[in-house]
A = this chain, B = another copy of it.
Amino acid sequence: MTILLKNCSHIITQDEERKILRNKDIGIEKGRIKEITEQTQNSYDQEIDCSQKIIMPGLVNMHTHAGMSLMRGYSDDKELFSWLEDIWKIEGKLTRKEVKIGTELSILEMIKTGTTTFMDMYFALNDVPKVVEQTGIRAYLGWAVFDPEKSTQKREPIKNAENFAKKHAKKELVKPVIAPHAVYTCPDDLYIKSKEVADKQGILLHTHAAETRKEVFDCIKQKGKRVIEHLDNLEVLDENTSLAHVGWITKKEAETLGKKQVTIAHCPISNMKLATGGVCPYPELKQAGANFTLGTDGPVSNNSLNMLETMKITSLIQKHSRWDPSIATAQEVLDMATRNPSKHLQQETGQITQGKQADIITLNINSIGNTPLYNVVSNIVYSLSISNPIKDVIVNGKITMQQGRMKTMDEEEVRKKAIETSRKLI
């Protein structure tokens, strides 16, 4: 099926010059952007009137645990360890069935809020690739690798992860990744083995790093090094690795992350809600040349998966923590959620230019948050939280949501199943 986005009011191209085009047509064919023209002469199977819409690349959520949504709101506002106890009590009961249902709910939330790709780390992911394919989102799925002694998984986690990655190696929307959980749950040999598997299979590695002060201090005590130094020492850090959080690092570690071309997934809402204290140092990481992206973290520590919200709070916390309103501009933050992740994910998404993959969202231009409209990028980052402005979502050239209605999921059915299943968990 070919699609024509007709007479687009504003196209935020996110190209090299960050051009914004007015009143153009976008033709989509075979998953790619075939043409961007004044007025196309070609015919397309389906035409969407975009005269009242802003067109932009889909948002990328670079760190979540989608399967946790059935626990959203179950425990909040507690000291970290008493909170974790609450969560673990429920998490211990989760099987592949609950993980599937929770992930469905999360994907529904992500598509409705304009996310077209997410990076996930969880367990019992057996049925998740099928859900991803059915719903039409793009997902990087990492079966969490743990020290077997600290894990509730059946069989050895690294084996589960390796088998899962092999099984789903050749899919279009699903890309397996290797996801060692963190330095405090994975001994050195597991990180080394994880990196070997990733390199052998040609897939990405995703891990938590330097989220809390305690993690850093424990690492220094046990390994004689800080977390990033330690991961560097294990030869885990390169352009195929992404690290979630990175809230507690030194300037020297930021330089290492830049030199090694590592991707960072900053998760400001989760860090603030759990009060981890540290703020991922965007200015130093940018200076060093690291690839800076954003994540929501899981639905239990956020408690939403809304990347529009995460963009605004990223700008706020970065400005706040340096007493400098010029840090993390609206344009930079939009790059973090679109262009930057695409580089790491080896996708030709994240910008709207001819020939690129068609991961595209449209936003209602006639909303209060878009009034007045001096600067469309400012409005997207700072003003659109008043109501979900996302109208259409296209992933890989296929429509997953049109005019606010899900095309690939039965929204009521997903919510109903989630509610029923959550009732049995507590």
Within 8 A of B (CB), among A235-293: 269, 271-277
Neighbouring B residues of A185 by C-beta, 8 Å: none
Contact at A109–B368, with CB atoms within 8 Å?
Answer: yes
Neighbouring B residues of A109 by C-beta, 8 Å: 368-369, 386
Neighbouring B residues of A70 by C-beta, 8 Å: 372
Contact at B304–A382, with CB atoms within 8 Å?
Answer: yes
Contact at B386–A306, with CB atoms within 8 Å?
Answer: yes
Whether A322 is near chain B, meaning CB under 8 Å from some CB there, is: yes
Contact at A326–B108, with CB atoms within 8 Å?
Answer: no
Whether A415 is near chain B, meaning CB under 8 Å from some CB there, is: yes
Q: What's the least CB distance linking A213 to chain B, in Å?
A: 8
CB nearest neighbor in B for A105 = B371
Neighbouring B residues of A426 by C-beta, 8 Å: 374
Contact at B422–A277, with CB atoms within 8 Å?
Answer: no
| A419 touches which of B76, B274, B373, B388 (Cβ 8 Å) | B373
In whole angstroms, how far apart are the Cα atoms of A386 and B372 in the complex? 22
Neighbouring B residues of A384 by C-beta, 8 Å: 304
Q: Which of A78-86, A120-128, A221-229 forms part of the interface with chain B?
A: A78-86
CB nearest neighbor in B for A325 = B275
| A316 touches which of B108, B313, B388 (Cβ 8 Å) | B313
Contact at A325–B79, with CB atoms within 8 Å?
Answer: yes
In whole angstroms, how far apart are the Cα atoms of A303 and B371 in the complex? 11
In whole angstroms, how far apart are the Cα atoms of A320 and B411 in the complex? 34
> Assembly of this chain: how many copies?
2
Neighbouring B residues of A418 by C-beta, 8 Å: 371-372
In whole angstroms, how far apart are the Cα atoms of A185 and B14 in the complex? 43
In whole angstroms, how far apart are the Cα atoms of A319 and B375 in the complex? 32
Q: What's the least CB distance linking A88 to chain B, in Å?
A: 16
Neighbouring B residues of A276 by C-beta, 8 Å: 323
Q: What's the least CB distance linking A81 to chain B, in Å?
A: 11
Q: Mark A312-340, 1 if CB is under 8 A from B, else 0.
A: 11011101101111110110000000000
Contact at A372–B422, with CB atoms within 8 Å?
Answer: yes
Neighbouring B residues of A74 by C-beta, 8 Å: 372, 374-375
Neighbouring B residues of A387 by C-beta, 8 Å: 112, 387-388
Neighbouring B residues of A73 by C-beta, 8 Å: 372-375, 378-379, 382-383
Contact at A302–B382, with CB atoms within 8 Å?
Answer: yes
A271-B320, A306-B385 in contact; A326/B78 too (CB < 8 A)? yes
Whether A77 is near chain B, meaning CB under 8 Å from some CB there, is: yes
In whole angstroms, how far apart are the Cα atoms of A386 and B375 in the complex? 23
Q: What's the least CB distance linking A424 to chain B, in Å?
A: 11
In whole angstroms, how far apart are the Cα atoms of A327 and B329 in the complex? 29
Contact at B316–A272, with CB atoms within 8 Å?
Answer: yes
Neighbouring B residues of A312 by C-beta, 8 Å: 309
In whole angstroms, how far apart are the Cα atoms of A366 and B12 in the complex? 33
CB nearest neighbor in B for A389 = B387
Q: What's the least CB distance linking A330 to chain B, in Å?
A: 6
Whether A9 is near chain B, meaning CB under 8 Å from some CB there, is: no
Neighbouring B residues of A349 by C-beta, 8 Å: none
Within 8 A of B (CB), among A28-64: none
Contact at A303–B388, with CB atoms within 8 Å?
Answer: no
In whole angstroms, how far apart are the Cα atoms of A277 and B322 in the complex? 8
Contact at B317–A320, with CB atoms within 8 Å?
Answer: yes
Whether A103 is near chain B, meaning CB under 8 Å from some CB there, is: no
Whether A7 is near chain B, meaning CB under 8 Å from some CB there, is: no
Enumerate 6 A-B pairs (CB-CB under 8 Å) in ascending A order.
Answer: A72-B374, A275-B324, A276-B323, A299-B383, A309-B312, A374-B422
Q: Given known contacts A274-B319, A313-B316, A368-B411, what 6 new A-B pairs fall within 8 Å (CB)?
A: A76-B382, A77-B326, A78-B326, A272-B316, A273-B315, A275-B322
A residues contacting B by CB (< 8 A) are 69-70, 72-74, 76-80, 83, 105, 108-109, 112-113, 269, 271-277, 299, 302-306, 309, 312-313, 315-317, 319-320, 322-327, 329-330, 366, 368-369, 371-375, 378-379, 382-388, 411-412, 415, 418-419, 422-423, 426
7 nearest CB pairs, A to B: A372-B422, A387-B388, A272-B316, A77-B329, A272-B320, A277-B323, A303-B382
